[in-house]
Amino acid sequence: MTTLRPPRLRASPWGRLATCPLLEVKGLKKHFASRTGLFGPRTLVRAVDGVDFSVAAQESFAVVGESGCGKTTLARLVLALETPTEGRVMFDGNDLNGVPPKRLRALRREFQAVFQDPFSSLDPRMTVADIVCEPFAIHGLYRGPALRSRRLDFLLDAVGLARGHRDRYPHEFSGGQRQRIGIARALAMDPRLLVLDEPLSALDVSIQAQILNLLKDLQRDLRLAYLFISHDICVVRHLAGRVAVMYLGVIVELSEAEGLFRDPQHPYTEALLSAVPIPDPSARRGRKRALLSGETPSPAAPPAGCRFHPRCRYAVDSCKTQVPKLRETSTGASSACPVRPFASRPSEAAIGVRP
């Protein structure tokens, strides 16, 4: 079957160069005003508070962290669904908050999203064909039932759904099948970047593996770039080439995926890895747990200095006052920890090389 693809946008003069990342986030901040009660004082929630990273074409880049660290807000900023308080999101050389609305609408064809909950992200009144083909009507592509039907068949084949499912409704499918519908919809415009916001967390473990394998196959076959948002560091290991670890609105470590698991450079990353269960008794031998004390502080009142210091077993006095910056370590990773507890010895919570 002939692969049908919509026409690509004309690149900007400064875009798509070898030195220009597909996605670049610079100094990104998003603060929300909040109030406790009707007459309570106004506070500022620093959901994302100075984030920098880039994603190359066809790269799989993950952002991992516990709930409330700002991952989903970051995803919404990248998708231009939120306006940043400060900083820029650059896609193919275009500042998404500085381009005219018409240009932004056209650019949205090049980056699409797969959302967390397949049960609420699909309109229950629309058939699979209507859901997947809706972007064609919005962007004026594949005009005519024959072209539209051929493209729909291609997308259903790509995500592993039967062509006969096109006239069914979302409630007739399992959670994994609904997520496949969501992926097909995201692929409709042949994007170059998919923003995957916790796409596996609402699924059973067995179904998670199927969707994970599908995403890997799609990336290879369609040459996609991924921005993968997850709280599950184990899932991240199987999909991402690079990983950013996020805590209270900031990135505390940026590393190649295998290096992060083998030799973490930040105490918070060590704690995340320590929570990963290892079924092999021989692999568990000699591995120590890095337990955290206390609760995660509120993003409305983050601690002074290093935001992780109240829960860090390696903290020193300077951690309470000095705000750490990401610095490259001897391993090639970047860590926002000046104490460098793993400079002379690897963390005892490291998992090691994937078999």
Query: Taking the C-alpha atoms of 207, 68, 245 and 304 in order, what is their torsion angle to the nearest 10 degrees?
Result: -170
Average confidence (pLDDT) over 118-139: 93
Which three-class secondary structure state does DSSP give residue 237? helix
Q: How many helices (H) and strands (E) does the chain have?
A: 10, 12
The pLDDT of residue 1 is 40
CA dist., res. 139 & res. 142, Å (int): 9
Which two structure tokens, joined as six digits, stand for 14?
A: 């400064």
pLDDT recorded at residue 81: 96
CA dihedral angle for residue 222, residue 225, residue 231, residue 237, rounded to 10 degrees? 80
> Nearest Cα to 54, choosing from 251, 272, 260?
251
Higher-confidence position of 11 and 340: 340
Question: Which tens digits make up the pLDDT trace of 15-65?
Answer: 444 457 999 999 999 999 987 766 777 889 999 999 999 999 999 999 999
Cα dist from 22 to 15, 268, 328, whole Å: 8, 29, 23
Mean pLDDT of the 219-239 span: 94
Q: Which helix (H) or strand (E) holds 293?
A: none
Quick: pLDDT tens for 183-216: 999 999 999 999 999 999 888 888 999 999 999 9
| 151 has a pLDDT exceeding 90 | yes
182 — pLDDT class (breaks 50, 70, 90): very high
Torsion angle of the four alpha carbons 66, 68, 71, 75, in this order, in degrees rounded to the nearest 10: 150
Mean pLDDT, rounded, for 332-349: 86
All domains in the chain, ordered by first residue: 61-240 (3.40.50.300), 245-278+290-335 (no CATH)
Q: What is the pLDDT of residues 314-336, one digit of tens each?
A: 999 999 999 999 999 988 999 99
Query: Cβ contacts of residue 172 below 8 Å, gap of 6+?
Result: none
Could you tell me which of 220, 274, 232 has the C-alpha nearest to residue 58?
A: 220
Tally the C-alpha atoms within 13 A of residue 330's C-alpha that lie toward its C-beta.
8
pLDDT (tens digit per residue) in 74-112: 999 999 999 999 999 999 999 999 899 999 999 999 999
Average pLDDT score over residue span 244-262: 95
CA angle 35, 36, 41 (to 5 degrees): 60
Measure the CA angle with vertex 148, ends 143 and 149; round to 5°.
Answer: 150
Residues 6+ away with beta carbon under 8 Å from 253: 243, 244, 245, 260, 264, 265, 266, 268, 269, 326, 333, 334, 335, 336
CB of 247 closer than 8 Å to CB of 272: no
**Which alpha helices (H) appear in the chain, and where do they start and end?**
71-78, 101-107, 128-139, 145-158, 175-187, 205-222, 233-239, 257-262, 267-274, 281-284
- Residue 309 predicted with pLDDT over 60: yes
